[in-house]
Structure 1
Amino acid sequence: MSGDAADYNSSRERDHGGPGGMELEGVIESNWNEITDNFDDMNLKETLLRGIYGFEKPSAIQQRAIMPFIKGYDVIAQSGTGKTATFAISILQQLDIKLKETQALVPAPTRELAQQTCCF
């Protein structure tokens, strides 16, 4: 990705904006000014929206990071529930399903993270 970094850092305060009543640790700070409160307003592909239909509302990190990721900005997400879905949704939105070649690569620093991301 290229462009300005959207840097997300946590602090000691508590954010209660997670999906399904989950509590998130920390306040998310960003140099990206847009917050998208629902997936419908993200202009995602219809097939992708159907695939994430079980998600009631984007988590705090998803509200702030999906759009800059899709628009080609660098995104550093250090805190919050839903980071894996954030980059998965962002990548899937940008894929051309007609191309039969590698279009995305997700490096993982640990085996645990690699196992979480291997199957999308």
Structure 2
Amino acid sequence: MAAAGIQGRKRLLKDEDMTKVEFETSEEVDVTPTFDTMGLREDLLRGIYAYGFEKPSAIQQRAIKQIIKGRDVIAQSQSGTGKTATFCISVLQCLDIQVRETQALILAPTRELAGQIQKVLLALGDYMNVQCHSCIGGTNVGEDIRKLDYGQHVVSGTPGRVFGEPATPASP
């Protein structure tokens, strides 16, 4: 591992899984090698393992605990490295399931990504009885309102639908 200071930041180069991974942080970030050592709630851990995760990816090892602590995190990595699961696990850990109101809003640039985020949240939160709804264009606004009135812990959606741009013909 090599470290070099760049404008007060630490740059770490690691050799993991036969690829070079670069991390830049404003201060030292602990690496948490397993989900079990992250201090996650038991029902969330069950969901993580049921989803098929065995070990956190490099980005998950570094970002989940920071997000849970309330730190501002900008995490960039290639497709398929676990970014969506990283923030989904963090959001689920912070929820008070007993309170059926929106506690997290996740904005996505596309309908497809907003729907994928909802599916990941529901799968990881399967043992938590989490309520999650995706507000996206091309769906019925009345259904969105009904679901939101029922109470959703997490809402994922596109900015247009979430912030109330005029309905399209497909979404009266």
Q: Which residue of 1 aligns with 2:22?
A: 27
Higher strand share: 2
Q: What's 1:63 paired with?
A: 61
Q: Percent identity?
A: 60
Distance verdict in 2 for CA 1:115–1:15, change over 3 Å = farther
Hey, what does 1:4 align to over in structure 2? Answer: none
User: In the alignment, what sits opposite 2:124?
Assistant: none
Equivalent residue of 1:118, what SS?
helix
Give the gaps of 5 or more residues in structure 2: 1-8, 122-172
Q: How many residues align?
A: 105
Please give the per-residue CA displacement for 1:52-104, whole angstroms capped at 9, x wherever unaligned. Answer: 11211100000000001000001111114000000000000000110110011
2:115 aligns with 115
From 37, 44, 56, the counterpart of 1:41 = 37
Computing the radius of gyration from Cα coordinates, the structure with the larger value is 2
CA RMSD between the two structures: 2.4
- TM-score, reference length from structure 2: 0.54
Q: Tell me which of the two structures has the higher relative contact order, counting C-alpha pairs closer than 8 angstroms and 6 or more residues apart.
A: 1
Number of the residue aligned with 1:90: 90
SS at match of 1:28: strand
User: Equivalents in 2 of 1:15, 1:112: separation in Å?
Assistant: 33
